[in-house]
Amino acid sequence: MTDLVGRVSLTAALATGVLTVPAAWLGGGSGALGVASGGALAIANLWWLARRARLDARRGPLAGWALGASLRLLALALVVAALLVTGSAHPIGLVVGVSVLPPVLIAAGLQEARPAGSNL
């Protein structure tokens, strides 16, 4: 795991944990499970994408990339469907959990792109 992926994963996991508390208060167990599982799915997806990018950078694009991506998205869809159909996770909680990663990733990317010694 790269340094950026590790930092983003840790920050997103902490933010997801913080958001799980009010989700439990507002939506009960299904709200908390929705936020937690959404955050976990987003972080797992980031790890998969980072791993594939590293492999493709070393060996060049693999022929099975499209199949692997399709299977990953199918697995994510099945997990989300199972959480929603069983009523285990609240849909809004799931969306909140998945939505934690993008701003964390953008902030980390901007921080890494900032010139050294900049006070912005």
**3-class state of residue 1 by DSSP:** coil
Q: Note the pLDDT tens digit of each residue in 47-71.
A: 988 888 777 766 766 666 777 788 8
Amino acid at 25: W
Q: Note the pLDDT tens digit of each residue in 86-101.
A: 999 999 999 999 999 9
What percentage of residues in the chain have a pLDDT greater than 70? 88
* CA–CA distances in Å: residue 116 to residues 2, 12, 64: 20, 24, 39
Q: Note the pLDDT tens digit of each residue in 16-47.
A: 999 999 999 999 999 999 999 999 999 999 99
Which token pair is 89? 């996770």
pLDDT of 2 above 90:
no
Count of CB atoms within 10 A of residue 4's CB?
14
CB 38 within 8 A of CB 12: no
Amino acid at 120: L
* Residues across the chain: 120
Amino acid at 97: G
